[in-house]
Amino acid sequence: MMATDLPAAKPKLQWMTATVREVIDETPRVRSLVLDIPDWPGHKAGQHVDVRLTSDDGYQAQRSYSIASSPDAPHVMLTVERLLDGEVSSYLAGDVIAGDQFEMRGPVGGYFVWTTALGGPVFLVGGGSGVVPLMAMLRHRAAAKSNVPTTLLYSSRTAEDIIYRAELDRLSGQGDGFTLAHTLTRGQPDGWSGLKRRIDRAMLQSVGFAPELKPRIFVCGPTPLVESAARELLDLGHAAQLIKTERFGPTGR
């Protein structure tokens, strides 16, 4: 009998030690952690990691977080929103300081990823901290000096809740084909010139690319937003295979 070549099994992900290099306050409830990970194998924009914390009595808690940094960056960055009932997020987004260490495993996921080689146009739709993996894509695009037509439609509760606001403004002002559209759902400051409601069909149609352009679409945020946006995008005529979604619930992070 002839031997057949079987695909090699993927190596099992190993837990690594991440050391906090820097803590960045993004909003009153959101922090970014810049990490040193000596054995980091590299990642693609849109992937995530598992974080595991172990208490002195041996109790462990584990959660998944999207990677915020570009694959081209010298350090891995996680951006974490502090949740009232979050065992892990309350530490990462509240108590952690430079020099602290914790276990991390990854990168994980190959579905919700974008590389410059995939091209575009690219339509990114995010709500709240769902902007994190989308930001990794934008940072990757900027690092590669890509001019692929790209639009981010980003929904936040208030202006104070906009994550990466200054960096997004800077990227959108470079004139390289990136367009930024904000919408606020729970109040707007004086002089606000952005959108003022939840993401709906009319907004997706006016801000995004026409279906005939076949944009690659990535939608990330709370489950209701993701499900609604994906449904409306399909109704607008976008191809299902070009719509990638990632969602999280109130206890998912």
Over the stretch 60-102, which tens digit does the pLDDT of each residue have? 999 999 999 999 999 999 999 998 778 899 999 999 999 999 9
Residue 123 CA to residue 113 CA, distance in Å, equals 13
Dihedral angle computed from the Cα positions of residues 115, 139, 142 and 117, in that order, rounded to the nearest 10 degrees:
0
Q: pLDDT value at position 249?
A: 56
What confidence tens digit (pLDDT) does each residue in 203-249 have? 999 999 999 999 999 999 999 999 999 999 999 999 999 999 998 75
Hey, which CATH number is domain 116-248, 3.40.50.300, 3.40.190.10, 3.40.640.10, 3.40.50.80?
3.40.50.80
- Evaluate if pTM is beyond 0.85: yes
User: How confident is the model over 114-119, as a mean pLDDT?
Assistant: 94
Q: pLDDT value at position 5?
A: 53
Q: How confident is the model at residue 198 (pLDDT cuts 50, 70, 90)?
A: very high
Q: What angle do CA 94, 180, 69 make, to 5 degrees?
A: 45
In the chain, residues under CATH classification 3.40.50.80 are 116-248
Q: 16-108 is classed in which CATH architecture?
A: Beta Barrel (2.40)
Residues 6+ apart with CB under 8 A from 81: 29, 30, 89, 93, 128, 129, 253
In the chain, residues under CATH classification 2.40.30.10 are 16-108
Q: How many CA atoms lie within 13 A of 222 on its CB side?
A: 13
Compute CA distances 244 → 67, 114, 150, whole Å.
17, 10, 15
